[in-house]
Structure 1
Amino acid sequence: MTPGESDLATLLADLDPVLHDGVYVFVTARETPPGVTPVLTFTEPEGLTLVVPEGQAEGVFPCRWITLRVHSSLAAVGMLAAVATALAAEGIPSNAVSAYFHDHLFVPPDRAADTLRVLSQPANVQARWDRPSSA
């Protein structure tokens, strides 16, 4: 198995974002409820966090799921920081999750198209990272 890309310039040039169908919500529970098919689970001391398709459970932060299809190394430095900086400059909130092969963003439904626009312009993502705004 290849370890993934770690060169920041290559990562930003090859983000290749894809928007998944549907809306998702964040849920907390003691265990995964019956009939719920999470796309993400994470265990914290306070409880289990799940991201599930909307309608499967009551949750918060309705969002769209975007996968960055570049195979990033788990040891890569700066990619998510550059992405978060570019999105923040546009006022787009995002929750990022790193998995073995890819990084994933959860953004408000009404900002999904804006997120794709920003991430489809890697030179702008790199420029924002090189010169973060002072705002």
Structure 2
Amino acid sequence: MAGKKNISLLQKELSPVLNPGEFVFVTTKDSSIVNNGAAIGKFKEKEGFTLILERGKARELGLSYDYIASWITLSVHSSLEAVGLTALFSTELAKHEISCNVIAGYYHDHIFVAKKDADRAMTVLSNLAENKNKQ
């Protein structure tokens, strides 16, 4: 099933959802220390593997982290070929001094923001969907 590409439609249907929990980004040379079901995400970089884990799992494994994040899913089914969606929401978050780390999944975009910024980010994204942030 193909995702949506029209930026106006994507904006209207963002439907951000704050997932429960606390999440961290860790790095390791050996990604096998975490089974595939435990990692929210895994990406291979030349320095090693970046893993996104629930904070409790990282602590359980003795992995260090610097950043505690909240995970927001945009419920709209966006196409991987959609142009401008990431720029749209990341620019709006930046205007409110909210850093975001974005993962594009097949169906949805996932945004990781600092735990302390989660509620503000949800407000910004909800307002963006309602077109309230336009000046």
Q: State the TM-score bracket (shorter-chain normalisation).
A: 0.7 to 0.9
Structure 1-normalised TM-score? 0.87
Partners of 1:96 and 1:105 within 8 A in 2: yes
Q: Any runs of at least 4 consecutive aligned residues in structure 1 with deviations exceeding 2 A, and if so which?
A: none
- Equivalent residue number for residue 94 of structure 1: 100
Runs of 5+ unmatched residues, structure 2: 59-63
- Equivalent residue number for residue 72 of structure 1: 78
Amino acid at match of 1:33: I
- SS at 2:17's partner residue? strand
Runs of 5+ unmatched residues, structure 1: 129-135
CA RMSD of aligned residues (A): 1.5
- Equivalent residue number for residue 62 of structure 1: 68
- Equivalent residue number for residue 37 of structure 1: 38
Amino acid at match of 2:33: P
Alignment: residue pair count: 126
Structure 2-normalised TM-score? 0.87
Please list, as runs of the form range in 1=range in 2, the aligned pairs for 1:102-113 lying within 5 A after superposition: 102-113=108-119
Tell me the percent identity: 37
Distance 1:32 1:52 in 2: 13
Alpha-carbon offset, residue 23 of structure 1: 0.4
- SS at 1:64's partner residue? strand
Alpha-carbon offset, residue 109 of structure 1: 0.8
Distance 1:38 1:120 in 2: 28
- SS at 1:91's partner residue? coil
- Equivalent residue number for residue 87 of structure 2: 81
Alpha-carbon offset, residue 34 of structure 1: 4.4
